[in-house]
Amino acid sequence: MKGLFSVPGDYIYFKSQVPLHKIPIGSKQWRYYDFGPKYVPPLICLPGIAGTADVYYKQIMSLSNKGYRVISVDIPRVWNNNEWIQAFEKFLDAIDVHHIHLYGSSLGGFLAQLFAQHRPRRVKSLVLSNTFLETSNFSAAMPWAPIVGWSPSFLLKRYVLTGIRDGPHEPFIADSVDFVVAQVETLSKDDLASRLSLTVDSASVGPLRLSDAFITIMDKMRQFFVIYSKQIK
C-alpha cells in the first residue's frame, strides 16, 4: 500500500457531477447518491463493512452512461438485522422507489439477501460479490462483540481493516485498497460498531423466491459493471 493517498481524478470529477443526498428518516440518517434516469427500476448498491456510498463511484458513472439508474447508499446505524430490513424499507418508501435491483458486497451482500428474503415483492434481482449466508462464523471469531459499542474507534478501524492492507497488489487493486482505507477513515465509531454488530447478530439467509436466473454471484469487483449491464434488463 502507498504511504500517501492521492484522490483519483475520476473521483473528483464524479463528486463535481453527482450530488450527495443526506436525509433523516425516523432516527436514521441516510447518505446516498442517486444518478441516472428516474423512470427505470434502480440498481441499489450496498457496501461492505469498510465501504461507503462513495466506493461505487465508478459503477455509478459507467452504468448511468448506459441508461441505468444507480443508487449507492451508506449502511445507516442499525444494530440488528431486523432493524435493517425495516429501516431500508422506510428509505425506499421515502425516495418513492418500489421495485429494485440489489447489488451488495460482503456485509452489503448479506443485507441484500436478507431484504430479498423478507420483502420479496420489492426485489427484482440480486447481484452478490464476496458475501455470506449466515453470521455464526463471525460471532465465533469475535468474542468481544458484546462490548463493541464501548470499544475505541482506533481499535474498530484496525479490526475492520485487517486483511485489506495485505499485499502486494497490482496497481489497479492497490489504488482501490487505498481508496477503501481512506473511506474507512471517514466513518465514525458508531458507524463501525453498528456494522460489526450486524455481522455477529444471529441471522441466516433462507430460501429466496427469486429464480436463479435473477441472481448473479461474482468474486471479482472489477467485472461488476460489465456483468450487470449484460444481465439485468
Q: What is the pLDDT of residues 164-182, one digit of tens each?
A: 656 555 666 677 778 888 8
Domain membership of residue 45 as a residue range: 9-231
Domain assignment present for 92:
yes
* Total of domains in the chain: 1
| φ and ψ at residue 46, rounded to 5 degrees | -115, 125
Provide the pairing of β-strand 20-25 with 28-35. Answer: antiparallel
Q: What is the pTM of this model?
A: 0.88
> Would 2 be classed as within a structural domain?
no
Query: Which pairing describes strands 100-105 and 43-46: parallel, antiparallel, or unpaired?
Result: parallel
Q: What is the pLDDT of residues 13-72, one digit of tens each?
A: 999 999 999 999 999 999 999 999 999 999 999 999 999 999 999 999 999 999 999 999
Task: Say if 4 falls within a structural domain.
Answer: no
pLDDT score at 231: 40
Counts of helices then strands in the chain (DSSP H, E): 9, 7
With respect to residue 3, please indicate whether it lies within any of the assigned structural domains: no
- Whichever domain contains 176, its CATH number is 3.40.50.1820
- Does the residue 141 lie in any domain? yes
In this model, does residue 141 exceed pLDDT 90? no
**Burial environment of residue 1 by CB neighbours within 10 A (0 to 12, 13 to 18, 19 or more):** middle
pLDDT for residue 149 is more than 90: no
Residue 215 DSSP SS3: strand
Q: Which residue has the higher pLDDT, 219 or 217?
A: 217
**Residue showing cell 418500489:** 98
Query: Does a structural domain hold residue 56?
Result: yes
pLDDT band at 7 (very low <50, low <70, confident <90, very high): confident
Question: Is residue 194 a part of any domain in this protein?
Answer: yes
142 within a domain of the structure (yes/no): yes
Q: Would you place residue 121 in the very low, low, confident or very high pLDDT band (cuts 50, 70, 90)?
A: very high
Note the pLDDT of residue 114. 97
Q: What is the mean pLDDT of residues 214-224?
A: 70
Cβ proximity of 30 and 74 under 8 Å: yes
Q: State the Cα angle at 85 between 81 and 90, rounded to 5°.
A: 140
Q: What's the CA gap between 93 and 227, in Å, rounded? A: 28
For residue 114, give the amino acid letter.
L
Residue appearing with cell numbers 442517486: 34
Helices (H), 9-130: 9-17, 57-65, 81-94, 107-118
User: Looking at the DSSP assignment, which residues form a beta bridge with residue 215?
Assistant: 126
